[in-house]
Structure 1
Amino acid sequence: MELVHRVGLILTLTSLSIFTYYTFWVIILPLVDSDHFVHKYFLPQEYTILISVYVAVVLICFLSICIGYVMLESKKKKA
């Protein structure tokens, strides 16, 4: 298998794992009794919002930097 396919497979499996964990944490876990053993595998519920906001801010910053870089490069080509 080529390196590109392996990287793609790893990224897909990682994304799917994170999505499954987060979905279970946010949607299913509040319906489970708080004294159930499964709660020890998850962070407290307060972190669900904090992690979502942090990821959104990082994504917006990354996209802003990419757009700014493209705008600066296109301005250099015109000059």
Structure 2
Amino acid sequence: MSFDKLIGLSMLAVATAVFTYYTTWVFVLPFVDESNILQSFFLSRDYAIKLPFLLLLIAALGIGSFVGNVLIKNAEKEKLKKSKKTQ
């Protein structure tokens, strides 16, 4: 198995585990008794909304920073091209 396939398989496994954990946390735990041992493996349900929102905010900030950085670098390249043409 190539290294790329191994990385892809591990990413798929992590995504599946996170999806299963979150789905159980949000859709199953409200129907499980509070004294059940299963409740100890999960955070409180308040975080079920707060964590995805925080991750979405961080992702949006990261994408915005990346796009801004690319736009600034492209503007600098264009500025250098124009200054070389005028010389």
Shared fold, TM over 0.5: yes
1:26 counterpart SS class: helix
TM-score where L is the length of structure 1: 0.88
CA distance in structure 2 between the partners assigned to 1:25 and 1:72 by the alignment: 42
CA deviation vs aligned residue, 1:25-68 (integer Å, no higher than 9, x gap): 01111111112221111111111122112111111111111111
Counterpart of 1:46 in structure 2: which amino acid? D
Which of the pair has more CA radius of gyration? Answer: 2
Counterpart of 2:19 in structure 1: which amino acid? F
Alignment match, 2:74:
74
Alignment of 1:1-79 (within 5 A): 1-79=1-79
Instruction: Show structure 1 runs of 5+ residues with no match.
Output: none
2:43 counterpart SS class: coil
CA RMSD of aligned residues (A): 1.2
CA distance in structure 2 between the partners assigned to 1:76 and 1:6 by the alignment: 39
Taking only the aligned residue pairs, the percentage that are identical comes to 27
**CA-CA distance at 1:76 after TM superposition:** 2.4
2:44 counterpart SS class: coil
